[in-house]
Structure 1
């Protein structure tokens, strides 16, 4: 599934240019991907679209107080004192490496809270137990893609760089 997601990211860099699910499925089939992988990826991408739209529709009203509910009845602004507590299911499915990476992105301010929640949602929907760190990085890329945002250059380097041969100093 992740090979298909990388292909979609590389070929439809601007999410708005990505064709509808049926047409995308045909294009992926023509590119030589396995039908089962295509189906998994399309279902995952539909979930990503729903999650991204959900956070955009219920984004907090920044003119209101942080503790007041938004007009749409959705999310509230996250306080700077907020702490994200991961459920046992999230800890088990994501594993320490992936959770550590999400925490790093969150603490560094590279991942907005609403985008973090979409990353976690899509990671929970991804195969693998635990989710591999390289797969999580693809998920993060796809979340930025779905919001139409380009990751910071340093983050993009971290997400795309092969760390296999990296030496620690």
Structure 2
């Protein structure tokens, strides 16, 4: 599923992405498996539905406390990377919450930094958020210290 998100980021503008049925056909033609396509489209649909417009703006100096399930699924490095993005103005609190929600919606037990970077790219791509070139470069960079189970193919795609 992560490979599909990377493929969409690399090949489509968010406002020019085809309808889900057309996109599913294009992804099948590109060689992706039907189960992965279904999962990726459902994940993207969750992103579209998860606007969280009613979230109040946190008070100045407030701190995000992660729930136990988030602590279990998001690696220390992934949580640190989220803090880095927010502290550098790349994302705001509302976008951070959307990213966390989408990370928790991924299948699997753990979300590594590399997987989180793809999630961040997908969220900013879908929401058409302007992002600094240096932050974008960091999102596209491979994390050499990440020993999680992200595939070499995904890392290769991210670097090209």
TM-score over 0.5 (shorter chain): yes
1:33-52 aligned at under 5 Å gives the runs: 33-51=32-50
Q: Does 1:75 align with 2:55?
A: yes
Structure 1 position 79, deviation (Å): 1.7
Q: Does 1:88 align with 2:68?
A: yes
Q: Does 1:6 align with 2:10?
A: no
In 1, distance between residues paired with 2:81 and 2:143?
14
- Select the residue among 68, 77, 86 that pairs with 1:97: 77
Q: Which residue of 2 aligns with 1:154?
A: 134
1:133-152 aligned at under 5 Å gives the runs: 133-152=113-132
Query: Larger relative contact order (C-alpha < 8 A, sep ≥ 6)?
Result: 2
Structure 1 unaligned blocks of 5 or more: 59-73
Q: Does 1:19 align with 2:22?
A: no
Highest CA radius of gyration, 1 or 2? 1
CA-based RMSD = 1.4
Structure 1 position 45, deviation (Å): 0.6
Q: Once superposed, which parts of structure 1, at least 4 consecutive aligned residues long, lie more than 3 Å away?
A: none
**Taking structure 1 as reference, are residues 153 and 21 closer, same or farther at Cα in structure 2, changes over 3 Å only?**
same
Structure 1 position 35, deviation (Å): 0.9
Structure 1 position 91, deviation (Å): 0.5
